[in-house]
Amino acid sequence: MRTQVGIVGAGPAGLLLSHLLHLAGIESVVLESRSRAYVEARIRAGVLEQPVEQLLNDSGVGERMRAEGLRHEGIALRTGGRDHRIDLAALTGRGIVVYSQHKIVQDLIAARLAAGGDIRFEATCIGLHDLRTDAPFIVYEQDGRTHRLDCAIVAGCDGFHGIARDTIPAAARQSFDREYPFGWLGILADVAPSSPEVVYASHDRGFALLSMRSPSVSRLYLQCAPDEDLAQWSDDRIWSELSVRLARDGFALQDGPISQKGVTPMRSFVVEPMQYGRLFLLGDAAHIVPPTGAKGLNLAAADVAVLTRALTAWFRSGDTNYLDTYSETCLRRVWKAQRFSWWMTSLLHRFAEHSPFERRVQQAELDALFGSVAASTALAENYVGLPLIL
C-alpha cells in the first residue's frame, strides 16, 4: 500500500497531524499498536494553552471542547498557608482550557473516521526503512500478517518508548536527559474540585497539585519517591497528605472515591535533531518535560503545526525550506518549554539534597515572584503558551 505520509502512533500528535494534513489535501495512514478502546481511554494531560485551543477550534474539532472544557483565567501558587494568584487574563489577555487529552483523542479519531481517514489500530510497526531516500517505507504487523506501507514521509509520533527515535543511528543524534529524584503520585477522584482554578502548592513535606478534569472529577498529585510503592498508599492516607500540603486558612479539601492512582517519574529529555532524512519526530518521541509546566501535549501540537506547514509547502510546490528547518524551528520552542518546566519544577518541589540554606533561597524566590508584576507576567506568558511557531 502507498500513501503520502505514514504516521506511527495514534496519540494526539499523530491524529492531529493526520487531521491537519487532510485539511491541506495530503493523504496519510496512521498506524497504532494499541486498540482504539485503549487509546481513547488513556488518561493523560489536561491543560491546553491558548494557541493549541485556537488550533483545535480553527481545524474544526473544538465543538466538544467548547462545550465541556473548563476555561481558567488564573492559577494559584500556594506556600506557607497563603496564595499568590497569577491572573493570566489580566497579565496576558489570555487563559487556558482544562480539557482531558483522551477526549481530544476521541474527537480527532471521530473526525478522521468521518472524513474517511485510514487509522489502523493494533498495527505494530516493526521497522522503518530507506529513510534517507525518496522512497521510505514502514513494515508493520496486523492480524498475524506482515504488511508494508510505502510513503514519501514518515512521522514518528510513537512516544518515548516507540521505535521511531531509535531508528536514527546513534551517531546521527544527541540526547539531553535529566531524571529528577522524585515522582508524582497522581489520582483521579469522583469529587467536585475543591478550587475553581489549578493550585500549585510548595510545602515542607513536598509538592502538591490540585487540578480537575470536569466539574465532578478532580485530578490531584503528591510529590513522592520515583519508585513509590502504591500499596503503601491507602485512599485515606492520600487524602490526609493532600490536606496537609494544600492547607490554607479558609480552604477545605473535599475528598471522595478514587477511581485511578499511579506514580509518574519525572524527567526532562530532548533529542537533536528531530529529523533524519524523511523521518520526522513529534511529541514524546522527541522530547519529554516534567508535567509541572503542563507543556507535554502542547509541545506535541506545536510540532504538528510546524510539520504541517512544512509538508503543505513541499507537497504543493516542492519548497523544501520549511522541511529542511523543521528540527531547528521546533527546538526553539522545545527548549523554551524545557526551561520553563525545569524552573517550575525546581521552584515548587522539595529536593532531599537541599541544605537549609537552599530551601530558604527557594522560599525567597517564591516571595520575589509574589512581589513582582514583571516576574508574574513572565510566568503567565509561558503558562498560557508561546506562539506555536517561533
The reply to whether 334 falls in a domain is: yes
pLDDT in tens, 104-147: 999 999 999 999 999 999 999 999 999 999 999 999 999 999 99
Q: Report pLDDT for 72.
A: 96
Q: Is the pLDDT of residue 166 over 90?
A: yes
* 3 state SS of 290: coil
The pLDDT value given to residue 111 = 98
Is there a domain that residue 184 lies in?
no
Query: Looking at residue 179, what is its pLDDT?
Result: 95
Domain residue limits at 341: 5-72+97-177+267-351
Across the chain, mean pLDDT equals: 96
Confidence at residue 237, expressed as pLDDT on a 0 to 100 scale: 98
Whether 191 maps to a domain, the answer reads: no
Reported as a single tens digit per residue, the pLDDT across 363-381 is: 999 999 999 999 999 999 9
In-domain check, residue 307: yes
Answer yes or no: is pLDDT of 158 > 80: yes
Task: Answer yes or no: is pLDDT of 384 > 90.
Answer: yes
Is 172 a member of any domain? yes
Q: Is the dihedral of CA 363, 368, 371, 374 positive or negative?
A: negative
Q: Could you tell me if residue 227 is inside a domain?
A: no
Interval 192-208 mean pLDDT: 96
CB 70 within 8 A of CB 192: no
Query: What residues contact residue 240 under an 8 Å CB cut-off, 6+ apart?
Result: none
| Residue 387 covered by a domain | no
- Give the residue numbers annotated as catalytic, written as ranges: 72, 200, 291, 295, 383
Of 19, 2, 8, nearest to 280 by C-alpha is: 8
Q: Is residue 125 part of a domain?
A: yes
Q: 314 pLDDT band (50/70/90 cuts)?
A: very high
Residue with cell 493550585: 199
Q: What is the CATH number of the domain that holds 303?
A: 3.50.50.60
In DSSP terms, 210 is beta-bridged to 199, 220
Q: How many domains does the chain have?
A: 1
pLDDT given for residue 300 in this prediction? 98
